Amino acid sequence: MRTRLIRTALAAALAAGGLVTTQALTAHAAANPYERGPAPTQSSIEASRGSYAVSQTTVSSLSVSGFGGGTIYYPTSTADGTFGAVAISPGYTAYQSSIAWLGPRLASQGFVVFTIDTNTTLDQPDSRGRQLLAALDYLTQQSSVRGRIDTSRLGVMGHSMGGGGTLEAAKSRPSLQAAIPLTGWNLDKTWPEIQTPTLVVGADGDTVAPVATHSEPFYESLPGSLDKAYLELNGATHFTPNSSNTTIAKYSISWLKRFIDNDTRYEQFLCPLPSPSLTIDEYRGNCPHTS
C-alpha cells in the first residue's frame, strides 16, 4: 500500500513538472505531423543552408514526358518521414541553371525540390504551368525519391514566364498548397480563380515585367479571402531571382513552410507584415493567415 502511495505521489509530481512538457510536445506534434526541422529563427531562414543534409539526382529529358527533365534536390535522411515537394520553372530563354540556387537552399530546410528545364526555352506561361504539374506528377509517381514525398503537400515556383506558369499551375490544380511567382510575366493579369496561398514577388527596377503591369495586378486580382502576399524587392531587377538572394529565400521558405507544411512556427516572419527596408520596397498581405 505504501509503495502504491509513493508511486502515486511520484506520478503527480512528474505530471506537475517535466511530464507536462513532454505531453504538451507530444500533443503539439500530433496536432501538426508535418513540421520538419528545428524551431526557426531569423538567422535560420536567412542561412545559406538549413538543418538537413542534401543529396541530388539528375533527371534526363529522355526519361520523362511533358517537361524537359531537371534536377531533384532532397533531404538525405529519411528519419523524419516524408516531405512536401516543390517544382520550380525557369523563365523565357532560360535553363534550370538560372534557378538552381533555390534547389539546395530549399531542400536543406526540409523539402524535395525539382528545378526543371522546359520543353523549349521559348515556351509560354500556359505551357510552363502544364510542365510544372507534369514535373510534380513525375516526382510523386515515378521518380527515385517518390517514397520521400507526401503527395498531399505540393507547391510551385517559377521565374519570369515560369512565374506566369506558376499562376497557371495554381489555377489548374487548386489542391496545390503554395505558389510563388518570382518577377512573373503573363499576358493574363487577373487570377480570381486561384485557391492556392500565393506569394507574389516583384522587383522595383523590373523593366521586363514591370510590377505596375504584372506582379501588382496579379496580386490584387487574387481573391480577397485567399491567404496571399506581395513582396516587392528593393533595388532589384527582373533577373534578381536568378542569383542567390537572402530576401527571396527567407520569405519563400517561410511561405512554403507555413502553407505546405502548415507550420505555424513560421507565421512570425510573415505576420505582422514585414516593413520596408534596404531589401524590401513594399510588402502587402492579409494577416493573420487562416489556411
Which H or E run contains 103?
A: helix 102-107
Active site residue 126: no
Grid cell, residue 196, equals 492556392
CA-based nearest residue to 216, from 125, 132, 281, 267: 281
Active site residue 238: yes
Active-site option among 123, 137, 206, 281? 206
Active site residue 206: yes
Sign of the C-alpha dihedral computed for residues 24, 49, 275 and 163 taken in this order: negative
**Residue whose C-alpha cell reads 520523362 in the numeric block:** 64
Q: Are strands 54-59 and 70-75 parallel, antiparallel or unpaired?
A: antiparallel
Q: What are the strands of the beta sheet with 70-75, ordered from one edge?
A: 54-59, 70-75, 111-116, 83-89, 149-159, 178-182, 198-203, 228-233, 280-285
Active-site option among 238, 263, 281, 289? 238
Q: Catalytic residue numbers?
A: 160, 206, 238
